[in-house]
Amino acid sequence: MDITVYIDDNHPLPRLICVHVKHRLQQWNDIVMNELAPLVSVSNLRNACGKGVKSGIMGYMDTWTPSQKKKIKSEHLTPLPIRPSSITHDHPEIYNKMAGLFKSSNGIFKQISELLEAQYGIGNIMKVQMKAMVGSEFKMFGTPFTTATINVNTQLELHTDSNNISGSYSVMATFTDKLQGGNLEFPSYGLSLQVGNGDLIIMDGFIPHRTTPIKYGRRVSIVMYARKGIIKHKHISKQTVDSFYEALYPRKPKHLQPNK
């Protein structure tokens, strides 16, 4: 496995910045680029640079959009604290196709966690997520991730992954085509990573990071993580959440959906 480990040694205990695993997920390139990415629409993503930013969600969320809140209010309902993302609900066939990517990413996450513990003296980096997910039905395909954010050619300003549960790690898969720019940077460490096709980056999302401008080509990132708002309400059943959303937004039978 081609990996590079970045550690901050200026602490009583070593602090992991990130691990860059190269070209382990290339087999999902076609699905991500040709089937998933076209589903991602323009959004008002916080911390994004410029307008017309394409960002979407897979898995589950603990917030509702303004239009969703309006619909719920018009039907005199009380919103649940968790909902499926629109991509997950509207395109279950694509969501299910991504199961292999999520499971493989989690497998690499586990391998890296064991390596860091054995060779670098860094404690089990999966421990917080695994413990928090006990009893939750919102594990995407059995992984310790509740949610995945998909960014298509998105430049992000300096930010932290503040919606993650405390002490957890973000796991980012990248898929690229003729990419120039789009580096992942940790300015406080002077670290700039050139991401490649099928790469996986396991990072401490609470360290400020950003994406550099994309000069040319395509860059799709899928950031998998555990949202603290979902863990807070993990006692709710997935069936209850899915049924509530389906009542609001019934899926159209396949033969009634417009051709795209």
Instruction: Count Cα neighbours of 22 within 13 Å in the Cβ-side half-sphere.
Output: 8
Given this model, what pLDDT does residue 46 score?
63
Q: What pLDDT, on a 0 to 100 scale, did the predictor assign at position 256? A: 44
Supply the pLDDT for residue 45.
Answer: 60
The per-residue pLDDT for 97 is: 96
Please choose, from the candidates 150, 138, 173, the residue with its C-alpha nearest in 3D space to the C-alpha of residue 43. Answer: 150
pTM: 0.92
Nearest to 130 by CA among 82, 165, 101, 105: 165
Sheet of 184-186, strands arranged across: 191-193, 184-186, 210-211
What pLDDT is recorded for position 259? 42
What pLDDT is recorded for position 156?
87
Q: Would you give per-residue pLDDT tens digits along the chain (260 residues)?
A: 899 999 998 877 788 999 999 999 999 999 999 999 999 986 666 665 556 678 899 999 999 999 999 999 999 999 999 999 999 999 999 999 999 999 999 999 999 999 999 998 888 899 888 988 888 999 999 999 999 999 999 888 999 999 999 999 999 999 999 999 999 999 999 999 999 999 999 999 999 999 999 999 999 999 999 999 999 998 999 999 999 999 999 987 654 454 43
